[in-house]
Amino acid sequence: MSIAKQKILIVGGGSGMGLALARRCIDAGAAVVIAGRGEDRLRQARDALGTPAGLELAVADIAREDQVAALFGQIGELDHIVSTAADIEGAYRLLPEIELEAAQRVVESKLYGPLLLAKHGAPRLAAGGSMTFVSGIAAYRPAPRGSVVAAVNAALEGLVRALAVELAPIRVNAVSPGWVDTEIWAQVAGERKQQVLDAMADRLPVGRIGRPEDIADAIFFLLCNGFTTGTTLHVEGGHRLV
């Protein structure tokens, strides 16, 4: 199925995997709306994409229901909804150090946000439309300091399966990335980022860390494949095997 001339909302499209997906979809002839909380970052993303004519920007916090409702009022009808958004600042902590506020931000960005996008976005989707959300390897290979993210990723995949049933024939899927070289790792590992990523690359069967484009390709597949729903697509370089 071609997505040429279709309209796609990408929440988190201002950087990383979302930005790579926006580029992929624009190259395929789609009209793209990238949404996020920071207007400056969205403008930088627009510049990085070459200010294409089919690109719109929308400022919204998907943890706020009023802003989600306003977002869909602004962009109108569309064909696909994708969210790569994640607020994990302060979330990677050992259990005694976890602050509830940081945990709540993860829940709001990766669980409540997709729930609200589905609630307000489903009525806007065309026949044959889809939603795709991003979970992560932490649900399958949890590590010390990662309990909150592991729990939320697992919950999101449960939500995806339930929405695929309730919203049918709208397709609802998840992509579960492994370790991908994005700016989030600066929050997780700080100055040790490259050392940590290199060590994981040595462990993985594919011999490298993921790139944003790897995840964009996986999401793009789910946008185009009309026979896939309620599924988690694992794109993790074999991480679940080691």
Question: Domain of 144: which CATH number?
Answer: 3.40.50.720
- Would 242 be classed as within a structural domain? no
Query: Counting beta carbons within 10 angstroms of the beta carbon of residue 228, is it exposed (0 to 12), middle (13 to 18) or buried (19 or more)?
Result: middle
Backbone phi, psi, residue 198, to 5°: -65, -40
Confirm whether 196 is domain-assigned. Answer: yes
What's the whole-number average pLDDT of the chain?
95
Q: Is 2 annotated in the active site?
A: no
Domain count, the chain: 1
pLDDT tens digit string along 165-197? Answer: 999 999 999 999 999 998 777 667 677 888 989
Q: Is the pTM of this model over 0.85?
A: yes
- Contact yes or no for 170/79 (Cβ under 8 A): no
Whether residue 1 lies inside any domain: the answer is no
190 Cβ contact partners less than 8 Å away, ≥ 6 residues apart: none
Asked, for residue 240, whether it belongs to a domain, the answer is no
Residue 50: inside a domain, yes or no? Answer: yes
Number of Cβ within a 10 Å radius of residue 75 = 18
Indicate whether 33 belongs to any domain.
yes
Structural domain includes residue 32: yes
CA dihedral angle for residue 221, residue 119, residue 182, residue 238, rounded to 10 degrees = -50
Active site residue: 109, 135, 147, 176, which one? 135
Return the pLDDT at 232: 98
Task: For 20-55, write each residue's pLDDT tens digit.
Answer: 999 999 999 999 999 999 999 999 999 999 989 889
Domain extent at residue 54: 7-235
In a domain, 86, yes or no: yes
